[in-house]
Amino acid sequence: MTDHNALIEQLGRAASPVTRPRRVEWRTLSWTLVALPCGWLASLLVPRESTDWLQPGALLAALQLLLAFITGFFAVRNALIISIAGRRPLGWRTFAPLLLLWGATLLFSIGHAPLTGHALSETRCYAFMVTVSVPMLLLAIIWIRRTRTLTPLRSLSAAGCGVGCMAVTLLSFCHPLHLHPGDLAMHAAALATIVAATVLLGWRWVTVR
């Protein structure tokens, strides 16, 4: 017992004060305010053209942008909540309506005649999303590392989905208003790449050891 007390006393002297993390809502907002400008700066490395918001379909595209942003914000919030033991993240009841409405707006944007050189445009979509996601996913890993996590796969997957949605948000500012099926395929491929990269790069840094 004496040895135990001595050990406790020694650990007490060596322990440093623990700083309580800020509220999840504030951390999510701060990540968004830092990550989106960094993603925009990264987008300057990729050839792009600004969206013509005067074309027909601009209102639908603006709704898609808003839904992508909201979904991404909630996904990153979930990633930060999952990293805290005992906290319950948002469930499918929150995400299902957003995803269904987003999917419906995407379907309404399909069916128009393909644009000239569209294959090149699809490749640029993929390159754009992956490029802008790099600083954002690194920042997400840094934010999760603040608390670490017992479930790195869930936390990082949610963060990757959030980063992917934010990449779509930025893509909306430099993408044709009307979509082609190939666009959706490349967007899905980019999203899968972003999620996988977030998990692989962040696993070592956010896991509780």
Q: Is the pLDDT of residue 180 over 60?
A: yes
What is the per-residue pLDDT for 202? 95
What is the per-residue pLDDT for 14? 58
pTM for the full predicted model: 0.85
- What's the residue count for the chain? 209
What is the per-residue pLDDT for 1? 45
- Mean of per-residue pLDDT scores for the chain: 86
Question: Based on the structure, what is the number of domains in the chain?
Answer: 1
Q: What is the pLDDT of residues 42-82, one digit of tens each?
A: 999 988 778 878 888 889 989 999 999 999 999 999 999 99
Burial class (CB in 10 A: 0-12, 13-18, 19+), 37: exposed
3-class DSSP state for residue 115? Answer: coil
Question: What confidence tier does 11 reach under pLDDT thresholds 50, 70, 90?
Answer: low
**Residue 4 in domain:** no
* CB-CB contact of 194 with 130 (8 Å): yes
Query: 């969206």: which residue's tokens?
Result: 51
Q: Give dist(CA 14, CA 12) in Å, integer.
A: 5
| Domain enclosing residue 56, as ranges | 24-206
105-170-24-207 Cα dihedral, nearest 10 degrees: 110
Q: Give dist(CA 56, CA 112) in Å, integer.
A: 12
Q: Supply φ then ψ for residue 149, to 5 degrees.
A: -155, 145
Q: Give dist(CA 37, CA 73) in Å, integer.
A: 15
**Residue 159 in domain:** yes
* CB-CB contact of 171 with 110 (8 Å): no
What is the per-residue pLDDT for 114? 47
Q: What is the pLDDT of residues 89-140, one digit of tens each?
A: 888 888 999 999 998 988 888 755 444 444 446 678 899 999 999 999 999 9
**Residue 145 in domain:** yes
In the chain, % of residues over pLDDT 90: 55
